[in-house]
């Protein structure tokens, strides 16, 4: 697998990032990308929300916006895949160019703006794979021109929740005006009460877990409010966090000044600090998915020790391809055994003990 990407990776990076991403999806759809044969290691298996995750490394939302290739990505070795963000109506997103490689920094900046084909097309694809197995989460967003955000999330739940292993309410993208304001205490309470009621009604039996995806750019007051609301409203998990609008001083790439959300290596420190803080604020009672700068065994393990039950990645594949998944999994198993753990669950939040 590493040889395959080593051959085509430099060719892919000769074209602009969005075109390259489209080509990657096409090759995956056509079955042209070799599958990775990763032997499951029992020390990495995790049971969460009544589901058995074969390993804790998942694909973050943003790669497969329209649920085109969840099964192909599961076959690359991911323990779970998250599709989206999906909005009720098709929307084209922000003007191009809107996706930028920061090669010197191992990073990406995007201002895509929830470009996707809408929930009806996604529903058809998810329904068609309903008996395929594997854990596939659905990340929901709102259309840019919708004033009543709750109504859009409810539409997404009604259409897609029956086919989702878990549902994510995304209020953290910096590229949809006003979206991050939904992280405030009162708007968040209103939103979560509405979507929880809709989710329970849409899937009354075997209701999928409800997760909230938050930004890393939060004040201490924001984090305290989110923790309180999440616990009070019975949210099943937090994804920490999305891209950042901040720009670390050490960025070297010429594209570093582009507007949008920054992901990849430079996000690791900030996102992990917020992850650790949210674990502490929720008393370890709310399962966390750590995302932001995961690109190696060491970064994945640091997220787990900081409080993440699962981790997600995306940006690192721009530079290293899917072979990085197997490398991380093999390394994680070694680190867990070296530290005397008999299961990954035992290491979650270890830095707090």
Query: For 172-192, how does the pLDDT look when each residue is reduced to its tens digit (9 = 90+)?
Result: 999 898 889 889 899 999 999
Cα distance between residue 207 and residue 215, in whole Å: 26
Average pLDDT over every residue of 286-296: 98
- Cβ-Cβ contacts under 8 Å for 116 (sequence gap 6 or more): 65, 66, 84, 85, 86, 87, 90, 91, 93, 122
Domain interval for residue 328: 2-352
- Predicted pLDDT at 319: 93
The enclosing domain of 165 has a CATH number of: 3.20.20.70
Buried b (16+ CB within 10 A) or exposed e, 2-27: eeebeeebeebeeeebbebbeebbee
- Predicted pLDDT at 177: 87
Q: What is the helix (H) or strand (E) element at residue 261, kind and residue range?
A: strand 261-264
In this prediction, what percent of the chain has a pLDDT beyond 70? 96
pLDDT tens-place string over residues 212-221: 999 999 999 9
CA distances from 167 to 74, 122, 135, 209, 320 (A): 18, 14, 11, 6, 29
Closest to 99 measured CA to CA, from 91, 90, 108, 107: 108
What pTM was computed for the model?
Answer: 0.96
pLDDT tens-place string over residues 48-62: 999 999 999 999 999
Q: What is the helix (H) or strand (E) element at residue 291, kind and residue range?
A: strand 288-291
DSSP 10-22: HHHTTS-HHHHHH
Number of folded domains in the chain?
Answer: 1
- Cβ-Cβ contacts under 8 Å for 136 (sequence gap 6 or more): 67, 70, 74, 80, 81, 82, 83, 126, 129, 163, 164, 165
- Predicted pLDDT at 175: 87
Does 259 have pLDDT greater than 60? yes
Q: What positions carry a catalytic annotation?
A: 173
Q: At what angle do helices 268-281 and 297-306 cross, to 10 degrees?
A: 20
* Residue 99, beta-bridge partner list: 110
Closest to 84 measured CA to CA, from 53, 122, 110, 57: 122
Average pLDDT over every residue of 135-140: 98
Say which residue, 6 or 314, is predicted with more confidence: 314
Average pLDDT over every residue of 132-159: 97
Does 148 have pLDDT greater than 70? yes
- Predicted pLDDT at 14: 76
> How confident is the prediction for the chain on average, in pLDDT?
95
pLDDT tens-place string over residues 67-122: 999 999 999 999 999 999 999 999 999 999 999 999 999 999 999 999 999 999 99
**DSSP E strands: which ranges in 103-220?**
107-110, 136-140, 166-170, 210-214
Q: Residue 1 — pLDDT band, cuts 50, 70, 90?
A: very low
Q: Residue 7 — pLDDT band, cuts 50, 70, 90?
A: low
């Amino acid at each position: 697998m590493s040889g395959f990407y080593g051959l085509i990776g430099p060719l892919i990076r000769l074209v602009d990032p969005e075109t390259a991403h489209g080509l990657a999806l096409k090759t995956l759809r056509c079955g042209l990308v070799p599958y990775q044969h990763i032997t499951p290691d029992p020390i990495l298996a995790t049971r969460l929300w009544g589901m058995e995750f074969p390993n804790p490394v998942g694909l973050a939302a943003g790669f497969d916006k329209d649920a085109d290739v969840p099964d192909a990505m599961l076959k690359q070795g991911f323990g779970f895949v998250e599709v989206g963000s999906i909005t009720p109506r098709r929307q084209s997103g922000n003007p191009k160019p809107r996706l930028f490689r920061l090669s010197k920094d191992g990073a990406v900046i995007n201002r895509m703006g929830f470009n996707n084909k809408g929930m009806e097309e996604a529903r058809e694809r998810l329904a068609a794979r309903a008996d395929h197995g594997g854990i596939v989460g659905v990340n929901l967003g709102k259309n840019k021109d919708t004033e009543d955000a709750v109504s859009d999330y409810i539409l997404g739940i009604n259409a897609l929740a029956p086919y989702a292993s878990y549902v994510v309410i995304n209020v953290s993208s910096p590229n949809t005006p006003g979206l991050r304001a939904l992280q405030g205490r009162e708007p968040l309470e209103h939103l979560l009460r509405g979507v929880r009621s809709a989710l329970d009604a849409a899937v009354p039996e075997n209701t999928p877990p409800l997760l909230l995806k938050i930004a890393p750019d939060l004040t201490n007051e924001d984090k305290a409010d989110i923790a309180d609301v999440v616990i009070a409203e019975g949210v099943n998990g937090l994804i920490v966090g999305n891209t950042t609008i901040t720009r670390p001083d050490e960025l070297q790439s010429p594209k570093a000044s582009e507007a949008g959300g920054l992901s990849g290596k430079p996000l690791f420190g900030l996102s992990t600090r917020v992850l650790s803080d949210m674990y502490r604020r929720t008393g370890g009672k709310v399962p966390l998915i750590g995302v932001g700068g995961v690109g190696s065994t060491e970064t994945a393990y640091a997220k787990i020790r900081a409080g993440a039950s699962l981790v997600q990645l995306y940006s690192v594949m721009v530079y290293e391809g899917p072979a990085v998944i197997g490398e991380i999994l093999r390394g994680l198993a070694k680190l867990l055994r070296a530290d005397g753990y008999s299961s990954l669950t035992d290491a979650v939040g270890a830095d707090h003990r």
